[in-house]
Structure 1
Amino acid sequence: MSKYDKYSTPLSERYASDEMSKIFSLRNRFSTWRKLWLNLAIAEKELGLDIITDEAIEQMRAHVEISDDEIEDAKIEEAIVRHDVMAHVHTFGKTCPAAAGIIHLGATSCFVTDNADLIFLRDAYDVIIPKLVNVINRLGKFALEYNDMPVLGWTHFQPAQLTTVGKRATLWLQELLWDLRNMERARNDLGLRGVKGTTGTQGSFLSLFHGNHDKVEELDERVVELLGFGYAYPCTGQTYSRKIDIDALAPLSSLGATAHKMCTDIRLLANLKEMEEPFEKSQIGSSAMAYKRNPMRCERVCSLSRHLGSLYQDVFQTSAVQWFERTLDDSAIRRISIPSAFLTADIVLSTLLNITSGLVVYPKVIERRIQAELPFMATENIIMAMVEKGGSRQDCHEEIRVLSHQAAAQVKEHGRDNDLIERVKNTEYFKPIWGDLDTLLDPSTFVGRAPQQTEKFVTVTVANALKPFAEYLNEDSFQLSV
């Protein structure tokens, strides 16, 4: 059967990076199992198990990377024994005959499956955290570039007070910073299951070391050390607690919410023609409507972010229904949901890197929309200016109210431009402030502290958050405020 006759997931075939796909590949999974068996044997030998020879260790070390032929041999073996781990124990033993009798000594299947999964969780975070760091850095540069460009704000997707293009970007940035915090915490909290035996009691290892509790503890600590982790979970059943999977996937699900909100905003702004994602020179927006510039990157992010959010329910439900020391109904779903979550997060972040590298802003469209709405927003300024000239606040309020409704009718009923200011200029009552109207209508006076907020947030808050990740940045990072 051709590979084109079988379903393959778009997550790995179409979207995800090779780096992330490799982490959850069969070769990496089985090679990691071999690495675990090797390090278990090394630690057991160091602690006095003489039945493990130097030759056994060397043969195992020489064949840690599993070959294509061995993967195929293990498939055949699994069809016979109906047990994936034992199939690989037998296959590894054929390749390393000196070690055949001591591979997996004292261990249960979860020694390799669970410890490997924890290694994959850590390594997967090491792929996506640098991408998130660079998304934040790029978006921060964008926010600084446009920190003082006035833009119409939207509440309920109705025109609201002005903000700035840069300030709007800080709303996205702040949530991405929270995602970074959550991911880093989840990554650094990861431990190993360690060497715990069949039900977590370490009974088999206590037998191996003839009742020596200290050596069993040393074995657990040594294996963890050899594998590059800081600690092992002190209490496990046969598996590590599936609550760890909740902790690991929750930040990814949360990222999905952030990315969906950000890209929805950009999609709406694209419709308003104020901002859009990068559009390649030869890119086709529609097979029928040649003029279209569809926001396909943001649409992809929204689509996959919904999937990312849903995967959290898999690990939540799996953790909730585990019985006592373990059941096996966690196995099949974890093979799907955990790789899918990291592959999806990887795709979302790779796409966000592309989007934030070339966001396009259209100042003239933004300015025109401001001018269409600003007269209504300036009514309070006009009232205050008239009062300063000696007018009555209540009289002015009534005059501007009448003119505002007349102007609104021109816009809504006749599709004409907002002519409120022209009506003010043609109304004798407002003559005292005619000369002040240009100043009263300056958009920069309507954005409050948005420019100052944006600059401080990016140069202090964002810069401080990125400082520990300087090695990941592929562009110049921000200068800290002094």
Structure 2
Amino acid sequence: MYDRYESPLSSRYASPEMLKLFSMETRIQTWRKLWVALAKAEMELGLPITEEQVQQLEEQVENIDFSCAAAREKEVRHDVMAHVYTYGKVAPKAAGIIHLGATSCYVTDNGDLILYRDALLHLRKGLLAVMQNLAAFAKQYRALPTLGYTHYQPAQLVTVGKRATLWLQDFLMDLEELDFVLEHMKFLGCRGTTGTEASFLDLFGGDTVKIDEMNRRIGKTFGFSECYDVCGQTYPRKLDSRILQCLSAIGQSCYRMANDIRLLQHDRQIEEPFEKNQIGSSAMAYKRNPM
């Protein structure tokens, strides 16, 4: 494992929850759950799919043969169809109805929307924990005076609690933006190759009411109350920039707080915890380099 590049973003800094969420196993299981939801909705709305087929799909969601999928993808040069094939191998009774009427983006894009939503919800929990800790810290030291700075020059007195509320306020603004992004995330649904639902119009004999109901049921299965009003094959990529902006804002707040702490450490106004066996500097044992 040491003869391959390893990203410190995952090995050092990512949480176990995020590593699990964005793993290939979780991604393909999400694809399979989407295929189950599609088959179930199609069955309930009158297409020739049996309960036995749906049940077999449900039973095999976690039984993923990645070696089989890799070999098949090498042959057909298509990741989604390789996993359709692999799923059909362990659910043979349902092999013919997996992905019925759908295009690849049904699983790739809806799957990404689910993963992004779940990741943002996990991030929200962490953000709330940081805010809770900062609020308690600010309250505890609300009356403790300390030297304030402007332009990093000694200025008037402030309190330690007041300084912490500056960081807390930034995170509050981030929370508001994060909630906005979550509130306005929608599901792609089954829209076909160009967003016209043409394949489903054929399957349902032109019954648009059933198609809308199918999308509503699938979206509800994964916790989405709405689909995007119009789209192409993919969900609107504007959402990606919205998510990135939100993540950037949280990163900016973290950087501002960390940079303030780093500057205050220089003046010995604050220190990070230092463990018994921790090494502050390889050459100067008395140093406590900030982490």
User: Which band: TM-score by shorter chain?
Assistant: over 0.9
Pick one of 138, 141, 145 that aligns with 2:136.
141
Greater mean deviation of Cα atoms: 54-63 or 24-33:
54-63
Tell me the TM-score normalised to structure 1 length.
Answer: 0.59
Label 1:66 to 1:30 Cα distance change in 2 as closer, same or farther (>3 A). farther
Deviation at 1:160, TM superposition (A): 1.1
Q: Partners of 1:233 and 1:71 in 2: how far apart?
A: 32
1:277 partner letter: E
Secondary structure of the equivalent of 1:218?
A: helix
Unaligned runs of 5+ in 1: 297-482
Secondary structure of the equivalent of 1:112?
A: helix
Q: How does 1:168-317 map to 2 (within 5 A)?
A: 168-296=163-291
Q: Partners of 2:63 and 2:266 in 1: how far apart?
A: 52
C-alpha contact 1:195 1:220 (8 A) present in aligned 2: yes
2:111 partner letter: A
Q: How does 1:65-214 map to 2 (within 5 A)?
A: 65-67=62-64, 70-214=65-209
C-alpha contact 2:204 2:210 (8 A) present in aligned 1: yes
Q: How does 1:464-475 map to 2 (within 5 A)?
A: none
Q: Partners of 1:17 and 1:260 in 2: how far apart?
A: 19
C-alpha contact 2:216 2:225 (8 A) present in aligned 1: no
Label 1:66 to 1:250 Cα distance change in 2 as closer, same or farther (>3 A). farther
Deviation at 1:163, TM superposition (A): 1.1
Greater mean deviation of Cα atoms: 88-97 or 11-20:
11-20
Pick one of 53, 57, 81 that aligns with 1:56.
53
Partner of 1:19: 17
Q: Partners of 2:274 and 2:290 in 1: how far apart?
A: 8
Q: Quick check: which has more Rg, 1 or 2? A: 1
Matched residues, number: 291
1:33-60 CA-to-partner distances (Å, cap 9, x unmatched) read: 000001000000000002x122211110
Q: Partners of 2:87 and 2:159 in 1: how far apart?
A: 62
Deviation at 1:241, TM superposition (A): 0.7
Partner of 1:44: 42
- Larger fraction in helix: 1
C-alpha contact 2:186 2:225 (8 A) present in aligned 1: yes
C-alpha contact 1:194 1:224 (8 A) present in aligned 2: yes
2:171 partner letter: L
Q: Partners of 1:222 and 1:99 in 2: how far apart?
A: 20
Unaligned runs of 5+ in 2: none
- Report the RMSD for the aligned CA atoms in angstroms: 1.0
Q: Partners of 1:226 and 1:147 in 2: how far apart?
A: 47
C-alpha contact 1:27 1:66 (8 A) present in aligned 2: no
Secondary structure of the equivalent of 1:152?
A: strand
Deviation at 1:234, TM superposition (A): 1.5
Secondary structure of the equivalent of 1:159?
A: strand
Q: Partners of 1:286 and 1:144 in 2: how far apart?
A: 34
Secondary structure of the equivalent of 1:282?
A: coil
Q: Partners of 1:230 and 1:286 in 2: how far apart?
A: 54
Deviation at 1:66, TM superposition (A): 3.7
Q: Partners of 1:66 and 1:9 in 2: how far apart?
A: 28
Q: Partners of 1:254 and 1:24 in 2: how far apart?
A: 22
Percent of residue pairs identical: 54
1:382-441 CA-to-partner distances (Å, cap 9, x unmatched) read: xxxxxxxxxxxxxxxxxxxxxxxxxxxxxxxxxxxxxxxxxxxxxxxxxxxxxxxxxxxx
Higher relative contact order (CA 8 A, sep 6+): 1
2:179 partner letter: E
Q: Partners of 2:207 and 2:39 in 1: how far apart?
A: 18
1:145 partner letter: Q
C-alpha contact 1:187 1:248 (8 A) present in aligned 2: no
Secondary structure of the equivalent of 1:250?
A: helix
Deviation at 1:280, TM superposition (A): 1.6
2:47 partner letter: L
Q: Partners of 2:140 and 2:105 in 1: how far apart?
A: 52
Secondary structure of the equivalent of 2:191?
A: coil
1:248-307 CA-to-partner distances (Å, cap 9, x unmatched) read: 2211100111111111110011110011222222211111110111111xxxxxxxxxxx
Tell me the TM-score normalised to structure 2 length.
Answer: 0.97
Secondary structure of the equivalent of 1:151?
A: strand
Secondary structure of the equivalent of 1:237?
A: coil
